[in-house]
């Protein structure tokens, strides 16, 4: 029987090391903070969200998100666009979309290098295990957008469905099927 404490510790050490490598390369490549990197990747995948929603997706308060968007606007990486009423949405500029692509490539390099140490069978087994872990993490986090804020969505869904998206759909279906009680 596997020692679960050791396995969890190994996972933690590997996760932290991979995070450090991936984020340092990605943020250095684009010259932005981790939150701004997540914002650029998020906006490249889903442009036109409000500052408040963008902040929620990257884990910032509304005021911190507004300051981050101000900095990204000043760097010509995003632009604010007015909509009807008082709403303003945030969109990546051409430079912002290029920066998001560079971020994902820089993030992906150390990750690809790490999994290159595995043979095909090991990579397939790891992909299955990671899908299970991500589904479980979605149950704990409860927010697919936040969980996948630096995700390369094209790579994730190239040959399979996104495990986080699948967990979110299952959760939504379960909530819709749950009986409601009326007073």
pLDDT of residue 1: 56
Domain boundaries, the chain: 26-117, 119-178
Q: Which residues pair with 125 in a beta bridge?
A: none
pLDDT of residue 111: 93
Model confidence at 175, in pLDDT bands (50, 70, 90)? confident
Model confidence at 181, in pLDDT bands (50, 70, 90)? low
pLDDT of residue 182: 62
The answer, yes or no, to whether residue 133 has pLDDT greater than 60, is: yes
For the segment 153-167, the average pLDDT, to the nearest whole number, is 88
Q: Are 100 and 41 in contact (CB under 8 A)?
A: yes
- Percent of the chain at pLDDT > 90 equals 63
The answer, yes or no, to whether residue 49 has pLDDT greater than 80, is: yes
- At 52 the three-state DSSP class reads helix
Of 164, 167, 168, 138, nearest to 151 by C-alpha is 164
For the segment 23-28, the average pLDDT, to the nearest whole number, is 87
Class of domain 26-117: mainly alpha
Model confidence at 84, in pLDDT bands (50, 70, 90)? confident
Whole-angstrom distance, CA of residue 169 vs CA of residue 175: 10
The answer, yes or no, to whether residue 26 has pLDDT greater than 90, is: no
**Average pLDDT value over all residues in the chain:** 91
Q: At what angle do helices 4-30 and 94-115 cross, to 10 degrees?
A: 140
113-116 long-range Cβ contacts below 8 angstroms, 24+ apart: 114/18, 114/21
Rounded to 10 degrees, what is the CA torsion of 66, 51, 100, 134? 110
């Amino acid at each position: 029987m596997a020692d679960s404490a050791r396995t969890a510790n190994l996972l933690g050490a590997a996760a932290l090391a991979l995070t450090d490598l991936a984020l340092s390369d990605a943020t250095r490549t684009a010259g932005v903070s981790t939150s701004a990197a997540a914002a650029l990747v998020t906006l490249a995948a889903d442009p036109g969200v409000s500052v408040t929603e963008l902040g929620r997706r990257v884990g910032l308060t509304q005021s911190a998100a507004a300051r981050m968007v101000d900095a990204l606007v000043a760097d010509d990486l995003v632009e604010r666009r007015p909509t009807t009423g008082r709403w303003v949405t945030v969109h990546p500029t051409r430079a912002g979309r290029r920066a998001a692509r560079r971020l994902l490539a820089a993030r992906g390099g150390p990750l690809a290098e790490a999994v290159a140490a595995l043979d095909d069978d090991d990579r397939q087994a790891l992909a299955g295990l990671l899908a299970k872990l991500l589904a479980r993490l979605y149950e704990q986090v409860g927010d697919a957008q936040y969980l996948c804020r630096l995700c390369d969505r094209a790579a994730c869904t190239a040959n399979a469905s996104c495990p986080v998206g699948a967990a979110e759909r299952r959760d939504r279906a379960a909530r819709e099927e749950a009986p409601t009680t009326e007073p």
